[in-house]
């Protein structure tokens, strides 16, 4: 079974409670500590076996790491782990998890290899918002529900507002960032604006 590690918590002594996102669920597994066990970290992609354990949590066994092409790039890894943490807090109370979220991580993982990691994460964050029905395909103010033509203001969830409808967030000239909100693409957005959006989300 293949999955991404979204969260790790220590149990007794050095044992771990590990939460792994697979293609159809968020599994909560027990990881027994032992000298021969490889270290696991949040964000790692792994192949593993799940073993039922009576009344306690299922055990994680035979763990094998699936390395990313960019795994030794510290900036990309740090950004990836921040997104993983954000995604875990987003999903931790959800019972039925569609395959979209696993496929989202697969896509980010692939795109980070050849695309600016900030752009990849922002674009996929936007696609997640649209998948969940929290964002439409047009740049419409979340407060007054009218099109945004001049100044676009966002909150940390990338929800768009008119500047006058929601003061205190980060603002942009609408024409400079509308492509992200309308087609989910950041190609035409300047690096400065990408940095501004990324730093605000995280």
- Kind plus residue range of the DSSP H or E element containing 130: helix 117-131
pLDDT tens per residue across span 148-184: 999 999 998 999 999 999 866 899 999 999 999 998 9
Give the separation between CA 83 and CA 91, rounded to whole angstroms. Answer: 12
For residues 117 and 71, what is the distance between their CA atoms, to the nearest angstrom?
Answer: 12
First to last CA, the chain: 31
Q: Is 20 helix (H, G, I), strand (E, B) or coil?
A: strand
Residue ranges in the chain whose pLDDT is less than 50: 35
Q: Supply the pLDDT for residue 77.
A: 94
Q: Residue 62: its pLDDT value, please?
A: 86
Domains detected in the chain: 1-114 (2.40.50.140), 136-202 (no CATH)
The overall longest dimension of the chain from CA atoms, in Å, is: 60
Whether residue 49 contacts residue 62, with contact meaning beta carbons closer than 8 Å, is answered with yes
Q: Give the pLDDT of residue 94.
A: 82
Between vectors from CA 5 to CA 42 and to CA 110, what angle results, nearest 5°? 90
In the prediction, which pLDDT does 11 show?
Answer: 76
CB 100 within 8 A of CB 22: no
- Name 124's Cβ contacts closer than 8 Å, sequence gap at least 6: 104, 107, 108, 111
Specify the pTM.
Answer: 0.90
Strands 26-31 and 45-51: unpaired
Contact 160, 148 (CB under 8 A): yes
Nearest of 82, 169, 175, 189 to residue 125 by alpha carbon: 82
Residues 139 and 149: their CA atoms lie apart, in Å, by: 8
Asked if 53 and 30 count as a contact pair (C-beta separation under 8 A), the reply is yes
């Amino acid at each position: 079974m293949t999955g991404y590690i979204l969260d790790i918590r220590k149990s007794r002594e050095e044992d771990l409670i590990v939460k792994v996102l697979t293609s159809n669920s968020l599994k909560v597994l027990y990881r027994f500590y032992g000298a021969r066990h490889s270290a696991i970290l949040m964000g790692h992609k792994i192949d593993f076996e799940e073993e039922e354990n009576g009344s306690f949590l299922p055990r994680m066994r035979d763990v094998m790491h699936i390395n990313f092409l960019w795994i030794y790039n510290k900036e990309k890894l740090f950004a990836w782990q921040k997104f993983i943490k954000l995604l875990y807090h987003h999903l931790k109370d959800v019972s039925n998890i569609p395959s979209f979220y696993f496929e989202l991580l697969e896509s980010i993982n692939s795109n980070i290899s050849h695309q600016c990691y900030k752009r990849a994460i922002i674009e996929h964050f936007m696609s997640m918002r649209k998948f969940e029905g929290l964002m439409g395909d047009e740049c419409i103010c979340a407060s007054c529900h009218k099109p945004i033509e001049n100044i676009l203001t966002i909150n940390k969830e990338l929800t768009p507002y008119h500047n006058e409808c929601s003061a205190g967030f980060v603002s942009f000239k609408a024409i400079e960032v509308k492509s992200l909100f309308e087609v989910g693409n950041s190609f035409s957005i300047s690096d400065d604006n990408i940095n501004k959006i990324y730093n605000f989300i995280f």
